[in-house]
Amino acid sequence: MSHDVIMPALGMAQETGLIVAWLKAPGDAVKTGEPLMEVETDKATMEVEAQADGYLTGIRAQAGENVPVGEVVAVISDTPEDTAPASAPKVEAEAEDAPETADASGIPEGAQIIMPALGMAQDTGHLTAWHKAPGDAVSAEDILLEVETDKSAVEVPAGQSGYIAALLAASGEDVPVGTVIAVISAQKPDNPMMRSAKAATAPTPVPKPEAAKPAPAPAAPAKAAKPAPAVPRPEGRILASPKMRRQATLEGLDLGRLVEAGVPQPYHMDDLDQLRSLATTAANAQAIPQQAASRHLTAELSADGLTDFLNWIETETGAPADISAVLAGLAAGALADTTVVAVERFSHIRRFAAPAQYPLGRALETEDSPTLILRDLRGSALTGLHLGAEDAPVLTLTGRASLTLTLEAGSAQMAPAAALDLITGFAARLEMPLRHLL
């Protein structure tokens, strides 16, 4: 089955994207997550990743061309010889004809702001929060809203200066890419509008700021009448926004509980309260102390050795080091029987097969279950943690100039001697990586 590659919108007011370079040639095999092309707008330049496995075919736009947002630029096909024509563009080039007048639904005059496409396979964006209210003044650089997809959480600038004349979607809604979600007018509106995207046929003017409306009552927490029977842990990757995954990690919450409770994926910040409630219920139902059955070890070390090693790799190879792959190799080198290392960095999880054989960070990625989990939380505010044992031993890096390394593992996962060997071996490799390569 072929997969259309479209020009993504990297900003709210973006109409076109400049293809700086194709990073794959026609007929090349591509894998999900591999850089496919480099795109430039007036705000940013970024590498756009492939959203499917296959072969790059049907290139319709060359390097140096400006392409309207939403237009198909290539196809990822099942075979390198597939010559099936790309489908019609998902989004018409409506920016050229976008009127700045009120339409039949009563939307006021102004520049129309659409839900951007933050990825090539994205159909909708989850509107997490508005940072501006109807009637507010806004500059092009101001953050207008926060959008989540399955792969990223982004604060999106307004892209236009003026006043918020209308907000056409509510926080918490999933809005199709390309849908008009706001209007920014040149003059301060007399009657700014706010409505839900689901109520597009019934706009409601925003009342004058006389008295604040009472906040809606919070949703009732998930019922905890009876402990649910044991349910097998979900297999495969759990779909959750990076922000939700990061917050769950910081609070020590297991996203698998939402799967077991039947909550549909992907998960967003709106699901956090329910996850907390499920975790509290499970904790009350299980009065068994987990810490007594786990290993918890910490080590302190300098970050200079790792920094110098990453700089050395860039100098030798001419390209920035793959930090996650490098850390996976160093960690696996300290534990001989580690075959798959999962690295979580900025809430993005990658799994590497036999990374100890590729100390410079060129291990191949895999979908196999990890035998070791490594969380790279450097730069966060955390100075230490104690989350307890998980499905595999967990190494966590925190700190900045001075690093703290924490190992957590179940007593059945690692003997005391093996746990000591792992944390001391990894710490030594982080402090002097080159010494362990020689």
- Mean pLDDT lowest among 110-124, 331-345, 400-414: 110-124
pLDDT score for 44: 64
First to last CA, the chain: 47
Q: d(Cα 242, Cα 247) in Å, to the nearest integer?
A: 9
- Running DSSP on this structure, what letter comes out for residue 68? E
What percent of the chain clears pLDDT 70, i.e. is strictly above it? 76
Highest CATH level, class, for 111-205 = mainly beta
Cβ pair 16, 66 in contact under 8 A: yes
Mean pLDDT, the chain, integer: 78
The whole-number average pLDDT for the span 26-47 is 81
Among candidate residues 135, 142, 139, 144, the one with its CA nearest the CA of residue 188? 135
For residue 334, the one-letter residue type is A
Cβ atoms of residues 127 and 171 within 8 Å: yes
d(CA 423, CA 30): 36
| Mean pLDDT in residue range 287-315 | 79
Element (H, E) at 187: none
- Half-sphere exposure (Cβ direction) of 144: Cα atoms closer than 13 Å: 33
**Cα–Cα dist 116/7, whole Å:** 11
Residue 311: which H helix or E strand, with range? helix 304-317
Kindly report the number of other CB atoms within 10 A of residue 308's CB atom: 13
DSSP 8-state code for residue 215: P
- The whole-number average pLDDT for the span 272-297 is 72
Residue 161 exposed, middle or buried by CB count within 10 Å (0-12, 13-18, 19+): middle
**19 three-state secondary structure:** strand
Question: Confidence band (pLDDT; 50, 70, 90) for 344?
Answer: very high
CATH topology of domain 292-437: Chloramphenicol Acetyltransferase (3.30.559)
Rounded Cα distance between 166 and 152, Å, is 26
Higher pLDDT, 407 or 98: 407
- The answer to whether 337 and 371 are in contact (CB under 8 A) is yes
Query: 56-70, 208-222, 259-273, 278-292 — which is least confidently predicted?
Result: 208-222
Cα–chain-centroid distance for residue 390?
Answer: 22
Q: According to the model, what pLDDT value does residue 406 have?
A: 93
Is pLDDT above 90 for 374? yes
Instruction: Map tokens 């792992």 to a residue.
Output: 422
13: left (phi over 0), alpha (psi -120 to 50) or beta: alpha
Q: Is the pLDDT of residue 282 over 80?
A: no
State how far the Cα of 428 lies from the Cα of 400, in Å rounded to an integer.
17
Q: CATH 3.30.559.10 occupies which residues in the chain?
A: 292-437
- Which helix (H) or strand (E) segment holds residue 276: the answer is helix 272-285
CATH code matching the domain that covers 3-77, chosen among 3.40.50.720, 2.40.37.10, 2.40.50.100, 2.160.20.10: 2.40.50.100
Report the SS3 class of residue 40.
strand
Provide the angle, in degrees to the nearest 10, between the axes of the packed helices 323-333 and 304-317. 120
Mean pLDDT value of segment 380-389: 80
Q: Which residues of 73-86 are buried (b: 16+ CB within 10 A; e: fewer)?
A: bbbbbeeeeeeeeb
> What's the rounded mean pLDDT across residues 349-372?
88
Q: What is the mean pLDDT of residues 52-67?
A: 88
Tokens of 304: 């200079």
CATH 2.40.50.100 maps onto the chain at: 3-77, 111-205
Q: Which residues pair with 55 in a beta bridge?
A: 29, 77
Is residue 202 scored above 50 in pLDDT?
A: no
Q: Report the pLDDT value the prediction gives residue 212, as an integer from 0 to 100.
A: 46
